[in-house]
Amino acid sequence: MLIGGKLAGLAVVARGVALGPAIAYIRRMSIRAILIHPDPRLKKVAKPVGDITPELRTLADDLLETMYNAPGIGLAAPQVGVLKQLFVMDAIKEEGAAPRPMALINPIVTWTSDDMNTYEEGCLSIPDHYGEVERPASARVRWTDLDGKVHEEQFDGLWATCVQHEVDHLNGKLFIDHLKPLRRQMITRKMVKLKRERARM
């Protein structure tokens, strides 16, 4: 996920960070190719994760590496072609603040506030296009971490927007689905053109 395209500061982050509470480890991470809309895989509902395997941990590492490199503040497994209920995020934007990388497995939104926020959202699968999306200002989410522990936390502000944006990805929904049809169609046409241009390179 991108917010207004102003996320360059998130690209510089120490590698080998913890993905769960009190878990530190170092693995070799790699940057994966991000699917560009329109792609049928981005519209499919991701499958729940069963066992937490070494392959899943590697996927989470790669998602974080790819997200920070983009740079963005969230990235879901379907965006790299893996239809599993997993996404990563780090919505820390304050200069000098410590990063907070998170990996959320099988996330469920258990509550949202009546109060709403509007952010100019973007998406790593829809590069260079943004739109104002209204979402609940706060959201409570339950998920499993990479150690198999279940967590529940309330997210507010940008974190709430990010977590809801990424849960949408797991349900086959993009931020442009919240926009008016003409705007959505215009962005989609531009993405089709971009993909054609990239294919010729």
Catalytic residues: 166
How far is it, in rounded angstroms, from Cα 181 to Cα 29?
38
Hunting for tokens 């920070």 — which residue is that? 68
> How large is the greatest C-alpha to C-alpha distance in the chain, in angstroms?
47
Which residues have a Cβ under 8 Å from the Cβ of 64 and sit 6 or more positions away?
Answer: 17, 19, 29, 75, 88, 90, 101, 103
74 phi, psi to nearest 5 deg: -160, 150
Strands (DSSP E) found in 10-78: 74-76
Hunting for tokens 């960070």 — which residue is that? 17
Residue 159 · residue 148 · CB < 8 Å:
no
- The separation between CA 24 and the C-alpha centre of its own chain, rounded to angstroms, equals 22
